[in-house]
Structure 1
Amino acid sequence: MAISIDLDFAFRMEKVTDVLLQFEAAVIPEQRLLETDTWVTKGEHFARIHAQDDIGERVWIRAEGRYDVSYKAKVEVARLPAEIAQLEHMPPHDLPGEAVQYLFDSRYCPADRFQSFVEAEFGNNDGGARIAAIHDWIAGNFTYEPGSSTATTTGLDSFIERRGICRDYAHVMVMLARASGIPARFVSCFAPDVTPQDFHAVAEVFLTDPTTPGGGAWFLVDATEMARPDEIVKIGVGRDAADVSFMTSFGATEFIEKHVRVSRA
């Protein structure tokens, strides 16, 4: 499946400021960039660095005044959907090093506080079956409500209020998976059926890989049910939204506008 992406955003800095951006589709085996074009305003500094887990790139810019970013891409997604409920839980002592960090609490995902809840609510399920049950519980109990959360809203806040946007759904999914002893990470991405059109966020969980005896792999889970794994274009991954924000400013910055258009090519 080929996905077309057309993105524009702009912001303004009153004085010279460092800003870290992450907005481009990642170059990884499960997705191939067929076309790509990035245009940015010229500033004092522009440099690319590896993003978390070497999935995607971050861009450092240093500039002042109005700064515009335009990005267009066509991406072929080669990821095969998996039957999550049929996958098994990998015991923590068998996990590879890359997955261990995603068992721990993070800024927006206080998983330790939910261990008793997941056992009471999902204790009859294990591994992928539990992930499927958590997905269904979130999808059935939460209301997708733009404007109902802010950049400081945590998974705990969203759990209490039972509403939010994709970022909040992903945080709760990650939080409850980690509380179940299953590594989970936050994924920023593009997807064609996201409404309203914008950057999207989903969770990714580490379970046994049926194609590799004794091995494990990451599997995408979207509790908003707006994005299919075989149509998701990954931008980056992290412990939670703090690691993969499309823009992090290290000084006063005024965000001006953003337009995101994602479609099936």
Structure 2
Amino acid sequence: MKLQIHATLDYSVPVPTDLLLHVEAAHLPEQTVSDAVIQLGDHEHFARVPAQDNIGERISLRVAERLSVDYRATVDINRKLADISGLEAVPPHLLPGPTVPYLLDSLYCPATRFRSFVEGEFGPLSGGARIAALRDYIHQRFRYVPGSSTPQTDAMDTFVQREGICRDFAHLLVTLARASTIPARFASVYAPSVNPPDFHAVAEVFLDGEWHLVDATGMAQEGEMAKIGIGRDAADVAFLTAFGFANMVGQSVEVTAL
């Protein structure tokens, strides 16, 4: 699938502030990025820095008064697809080293607190069958409600409240996968069916020796997601991180399937 992406950000910045911007689709074997252009307003500093696990790049900026961003790109997705329910888990002792940190607790994903729950509810299932059941459980039991959570909401909060946004659904699926001893990480993506249109968040799980994107909201399929970046949770892959104050004036994301 080929996607056309257009994202804009407009933020007021009261005093000169350092920022990290992470909105560009990553150049990866599974997706080809072309016609990429990013236009930035006035800035005092610009540098590109590798993102988590060298998947994509962040832009380091220092701006005063205003942050203005206009990003456009075309992404051709050629990801290898599979029925996740038929994939096998990799035993922990055979996992590649870079996947091991994604078994552990992180700021928004307290996986160890959910081990008894996943074994009690999903004990007979393993590997991809367990992931498919976790995805369907979240999709069916939790409500997608824009504005229902805050940047501080973690997977336990979402589990108790039974509602959230894509970020919360992704955190919960990542948490339950890790509690099942399956490496899982948080992925930021562009996808054409997200409603309301916005930056989207999904889980990515390691099965049968490869990473696979899984969306518990049901709004995006693996073959139509353009990956921006990955991390242990949202703290690693925010589209904008401000080391100071930045107030949103306007923001838009348009993703069109060509």
TM-score normalised over the length of structure 2: 0.99
- Name the residue aligned to 2:230: 237
**Alignment map for 1:68-107 (pairs within 5 Å):** 68-107=68-107
**Distance between the aligned counterparts of 2:253 and 2:149, measured in 1?**
20
**Distance between the aligned counterparts of 1:61 and 1:41, measured in 2?**
11
Identity of matched residues, %: 53
Secondary structure of 2:9 counterpart = strand
Distance apart, 1:139 and its partner CA: 0.8
Distance apart, 1:81 and its partner CA: 2.0
- Name the residue aligned to 1:213: none
Kindly provide the CA deviation profile for residues 161-180 of structure 1, in whole angstroms up to 9, marking residues without a partner as x: 11111000000000000000
Count the aligned residue pairs. 258
Distance apart, 1:80 and its partner CA: 2.7
- Name the residue aligned to 1:211: none
**Distance between the aligned counterparts of 1:9 and 1:46, measured in 2?**
17
**Distance between the aligned counterparts of 1:83 and 1:34, measured in 2?**
29
Computed over aligned residues only, the root mean square deviation of the Cα atoms, in angstroms, reads: 0.7
- Name the residue aligned to 2:5: 5
Distance apart, 1:255 and its partner CA: 1.6
**Distance between the aligned counterparts of 2:248 and 2:147, measured in 1?**
16
For the pair 1:50 / 2:50, whether they are aligned, the reply is yes
8 Å contact kept, 1:80–1:229: no
Distance apart, 1:63 and its partner CA: 1.3
**Distance between the aligned counterparts of 1:154 and 1:148, measured in 2?**
12
**Distance between the aligned counterparts of 2:218 and 2:243, measured in 1?**
34
8 Å contact kept, 1:145–1:163: yes
- Name the residue aligned to 1:189: 189
**Distance between the aligned counterparts of 1:105 and 1:173, measured in 2?**
13
**Distance between the aligned counterparts of 1:13 and 1:165, measured in 2?**
26
For the pair 1:202 / 2:195, whether they are aligned, the reply is no
Secondary structure of 2:66 counterpart = strand
- Name the residue aligned to 2:221: 228
- Name the residue aligned to 1:254: 247
The code of the aligned residue for 1:127 comes to G
**Distance between the aligned counterparts of 2:43 and 2:8, measured in 1?**
17
Secondary structure of 1:107 counterpart = coil
- Name the residue aligned to 1:212: none
**Distance between the aligned counterparts of 1:52 and 1:252, measured in 2?**
24
- Name the residue aligned to 2:33: 33
Which runs of structure 1 show a deviation greater than 6 angstroms over 4 or more consecutive aligned residues?
A: none
Distance apart, 1:34 and its partner CA: 2.3
Secondary structure of 1:12 counterpart = strand
Distance apart, 1:252 and its partner CA: 1.7
